[in-house]
Amino acid sequence: MTFCFTGIRSFPKLWKSNPYLGLGPGHSYNSLFLKDCYGIRNQQKLFSLQTASPQNTKAINLPIVKARYHRKGSGTISSEFPHLFAAGAAKKRSQMNPQSKDHVSPPVSNIIQLPTKPLNSEQWDKLKEDFKGKANFENWIISQMARHNSSVDVAKSLLAWVATKNNGIVSYNLLVKYLYLCVFHKQTSEVFDVYEIMKARYKSLESGANTLLIRGLIHSDRWREALVLLEDIKKVMTPSKKNYNDCIQGALLHQDVNIAWNLYEDLLSHDLIPMMETLKAFFDLGKHIKDDQYSNKLLDILLYLRNNQLYPGESFAHSIKTWFESVPGEQWKGQFTTIQKSGQCLGCGKTIESIHLSPEEYEFLKRKVLRDVIDGGDQYRKTTPQELKRFQNFVKYCPPFDIVIDGLNVAKMFPKVRESQVLLGVVSQLAKQNLHVLVLGRKHMLNSRARWKKDEMEEVQKLASCFFADNISEDDPFLLYATLHSGHHCKFITKDLLRDHKACLPDAKTQRLFFKWQQGHQLAITSRFPGSKITFQHILSYDTVVQTTGDSWHIPYDEDLVERYSYEVPTKWLCLHRKT
Amino acid sequence: MVIEATEEFSFMTVFFKMSVSIAFIRPFARVLVPFTLNRKRSVFCSLILQRYMSSKIPPVPCPNKESTSPEQLELDGWKITMKSSVQEGVSTVLSTQDEDPLVATRELIEMWRLLGREVPEHISDEELKTIMECVSKSSKKKYLKFLYVKEKMKKAKQIKKEMKAAAKEKAKEDQLLETKENKQQNFLFLRLWDRNMDIAMGWKGVQAMQFGQPLVFDMAYDNYMKPKELRNTVSQLLESEGQNRRDVDPFHIHFCNLKTDGPLYGELIKRYGEKWDKLLLTATEKSHIDLFPKDSIVYLTADSPNVMTTFKHDKIYIVGAFVDKNIQPGISLAKAKRLNLATECFPLDKYLQWDTGTKNLTLDQVIRILLCLKNNGSWEEALKFVPRRKHTGYLEIPQYSQEFVNRVKKSKIIKPFQKGSLNIYTQKR
3-state secondary structure (DSSP) of residue A468: strand
Residue with more model confidence, B308 or A63: B308
Of A13, A236, A380, the CB nearest to B11: A13
Distances (CA, A) of B219 to B5, B292, B295: 64, 16, 20
Residue A574's contacts (CB-CB under 8 Å, 6 or more residues apart) are A317, A320, A321, A334, A335, A336, A337, A553, A554, A555, A556, A557
Inform me whether the pLDDT recorded for B302 exceeds 70.
yes
The rounded distance, in Å, linking the Cα atoms of A283 and A136 is 47
Q: Which amino acid is at A1?
A: M
pLDDT value at position A97? Answer: 67
Give the count of alpha carbons within 13 A of A156, CB side only: 20
**N-term to C-term CA, chain A:** 54
pLDDT value at position A138? Answer: 87
3-state secondary structure (DSSP) of residue B317: strand
Of B14, B47, B78, the CB nearest to A10: B14
Mutation to test the A interface, candidates B26, B82, B113, most A Cβ within 10 Å = B82
Of B43, B63, B104, the CB nearest to A148: B43
pLDDT value at position A207? Answer: 86
Comparing C-alpha atoms, which of B101, B88, B75, B370 is closest to residue B217? Answer: B370
Positive/negative CA dihedral, B234, B235, B239, B245: positive
Mean pLDDT of A404-421: 89
A522-523, strands of its sheet edge to edge: A465-469, A437-442, A403-406, A491-493, A522-523
Contact assessment for residue B348 and residue B365, using Cβ atoms and an 8 Å cutoff? no
Inform me whether the pLDDT recorded for B42 exceeds 60.
no
Of B46, B63, B108, the CB nearest to A116: B46
Mean pLDDT of B310-314: 93
Answer yes or no: do A531 and B428 touch at CB < 8 A.
yes
Mean pLDDT of A473-480: 90
Inform me whether the pLDDT recorded for A53 exceeds 50.
no
Inform me whether the pLDDT recorded for A284 exceeds 70.
yes
Can you give B202-257 as a three-state secondary structure string? HHHHHHHHHHCCEEEEECCCHHHCCHHHHHHHHHHHHHHHHHHHHCCCCCEEEEEC
Mean pLDDT of A551-559: 93
Cα nearest neighbour of A39 on chain B: B5
Answer yes or no: do B71 and A12 touch at CB < 8 A.
no
How distant is the alpha carbon of residue A559 from its chain centre? 11
Answer yes or no: do A65 and B420 touch at CB < 8 A.
yes
Contact assessment for residue A257 and residue A289, using Cβ atoms and an 8 Å cutoff? yes
Q: Which amino acid is at A530?
A: P
Residue B76's contacts (CB-CB under 8 Å, 6 or more residues apart) are A156, A160, A193
The rounded distance, in Å, linking the Cα atoms of A242 and A502 is 29
3-state secondary structure (DSSP) of residue B357: coil
Answer yes or no: do A450 and B414 touch at CB < 8 A.
yes
Residue B173's contacts (CB-CB under 8 Å, 6 or more residues apart) are none
Q: Which amino acid is at B27?
A: P
Query: How confident is the prediction for chain B on average, in pLDDT?
Result: 78
- Is the minimum CB–CB distance between A5 and chain B shorter than 8 Å? yes
Dump pLDDT digits (tens) for B163-176. Answer: 999 999 999 988 88
Residue with more model confidence, A343 or B327: A343
Inform me whether the pLDDT recorded for B217 exceeds 50.
yes
3-state secondary structure (DSSP) of residue A558: strand
Inform me whether the pLDDT recorded for A91 exceeds 90.
no
Inform me whether the pLDDT recorded for A352 exceeds 50.
yes
Dump pLDDT digits (tens) for A160-219. Answer: 888 888 888 888 889 999 999 999 998 888 899 889 888 888 888 888 899 999 999 999
> Which range (A32-36, A511-515, A544-548, A551-555) has the least confidence?
A32-36
Contact assessment for residue A311 and residue A301, using Cβ atoms and an 8 Å cutoff? no
% of chain B with per-residue pLDDT over 90 = 48
Inform me whether the pLDDT recorded for B248 exceeds 80.
yes
Which chain B residues are Cβ-neighbours of A17 within 8 angstroms? Answer: 4, 7-8, 11
Mean pLDDT of A222-243: 90
Inform me whether the pLDDT recorded for B223 exceeds 60.
yes
Comparing C-alpha atoms, which of B265, B321, B247, B252 is closest to residue B291? Answer: B252
Answer yes or no: do B75 and A32 touch at CB < 8 A.
no
% of chain A with per-residue pLDDT over 90 = 40
Contact assessment for residue A95 and residue A45, using Cβ atoms and an 8 Å cutoff? yes
- Residue A272 phi/psi, 5° resolution? -90, 145
Mean pLDDT of A371-385: 87
Comparing C-alpha atoms, which of A506, A504, A508, A483 is closest to residue A494? Answer: A483
Dump pLDDT digits (tens) for B84-106. Answer: 655 544 444 444 444 577 888 88
Nearest CA to CA, how far is A403 from chain B (Å)?
Answer: 24
Comparing C-alpha atoms, which of A161, A102, A554, A568 is closest to residue A344? Answer: A554
Most confident region among A71-75, A391-395, B38-42 by mean pLDDT: A391-395
To the nearest 10°, the Cα dihedral for B245, B248, B252, B255?
A: -30
The rounded distance, in Å, linking the Cα atoms of B382 and B365 is 10
Residue A289's contacts (CB-CB under 8 Å, 6 or more residues apart) are A257
Angle between helices A152-165 and A121-130 (to 10 degrees): 90
Inform me whether the pLDDT recorded for A528 exceeds 80.
no
pLDDT value at position B404? Answer: 63
Alpha helices of A310-369 — where are they, by DSSP H?
A: 314-326, 359-368
Positive/negative CA dihedral, A129, A132, A134, A140: negative
pLDDT value at position B22? Answer: 44
To the nearest 10°, the Cα dihedral for B176, B180, B184, B189?
A: 0
- Is the minimum CB–CB distance between A384 and chain B shorter than 8 Å? yes
DSSP readout, A150-194?
A: --HHHHHHHHHHHHHHTTT---HHHHHHHHHHHHHTT-HHHHHHH
Inform me whether the pLDDT recorded for A73 exceeds 50.
no
| A:245-304 residues touching chain B, CB 8 A cutoff | none
> Which range (A17-26, A96-105, B232-241) has the least confidence?
A17-26
Dump pLDDT digits (tens) for A241-282. Answer: 999 999 999 999 999 999 999 999 999 999 899 999 999 999
Inform me whether the pLDDT recorded for B183 exceeds 80.
no
Q: Which amino acid is at A250?
A: G
The rounded distance, in Å, linking the Cα atoms of A431 and B69 is 87
Most confident region among A85-89, A378-382, A466-470 by mean pLDDT: A466-470
- Is the minimum CB–CB distance between A139 and chain B shorter than 8 Å? yes
Which chain A residues are Cβ-neighbours of B74 within 8 angstroms? Answer: 160
Of B4, B78, B424, the CB nearest to A163: B78
Which chain A residues are Cβ-neighbours of B93 within 8 angstroms? Answer: 203
Mean pLDDT of A137-155: 88
Residue B184's contacts (CB-CB under 8 Å, 6 or more residues apart) are none
Task: Using alpha carbons only, give the angle B242, B248, B250 rounded to the nearest 5 degrees.
Answer: 55
Dump pLDDT digits (tens) for B278-295. Answer: 999 999 999 999 999 999
Answer yes or no: do A160 and B5 touch at CB < 8 A.
no
How distant is the alpha carbon of residue A426 from its chain centre? 34
Instruction: Specify which residues A339 forms β-bridges with.
Output: A345
Cα nearest neighbour of B410 on chain A: A416
Of A43, A68, A418, the CB nearest to B418: A418
DSSP readout, A241-272?
A: HHHHHHHHHHHHHTT-HHHHHHHHHHHHHTTP
Q: B274: buried, middle or exposed (CB in 10 Å: 19+, 13-18, 0-12)?
A: exposed
Instruction: Specify which residues B345 forms β-bridges with.
Output: B307
pLDDT value at position B146? Answer: 93
Confidence label for B60 from pLDDT (cuts 50, 70 and 90): very low
Helix (H), strand (E) at residue A116: none
DSSP B136: S
- Is the minimum CB–CB distance between A237 and chain B shorter than 8 Å? yes
Confidence label for A49 from pLDDT (cuts 50, 70 and 90): very low
Mean pLDDT of B383-392: 93
pLDDT value at position A535? Answer: 84
Of B8, B18, B105, the CB nearest to A40: B8
> Which range (A68-72, A293-297, B284-288) has the least confidence?
A68-72
**ipTM reported for the complex, 2 dp:** 0.75
Which chain B residues are Cβ-neighbours of A238 within 8 angstroms? Answer: 137
DSSP B336: H
pLDDT value at position B56? Answer: 40
Long-range contact list for B124-133, CB < 8 A, 24+ apart? B128/B102, B129/B102, B131/B105, B132/B101, B132/B102, B132/B105
Residue A445's contacts (CB-CB under 8 Å, 6 or more residues apart) are A407, A408, A411, A419, A420, A452, A457, A468
Longest CA–CA span in chain B (Å) reads: 107
pLDDT value at position A96? Answer: 73
pLDDT value at position B73? Answer: 46
Confidence label for A107 from pLDDT (cuts 50, 70 and 90): low
User: pTM of the predicted model, to two decimals?
Assistant: 0.73
Mutation to test the A interface, candidates B35, B40, B98, most A Cβ within 10 Å = B40
The rounded distance, in Å, linking the Cα atoms of B79 and A169 is 9
Residues in chain A, total? 580
Of A139, A203, A378, the CB nearest to B107: A203
Helix (H), strand (E) at residue B299: strand B297-300
| A:188-217 residues touching chain B, CB 8 A cutoff | 189, 193, 196-197, 200-209
| A:302-341 residues touching chain B, CB 8 A cutoff | none
Mutation to test the A interface, candidates B8, B103, B144, B332, most A Cβ within 10 Å = B8
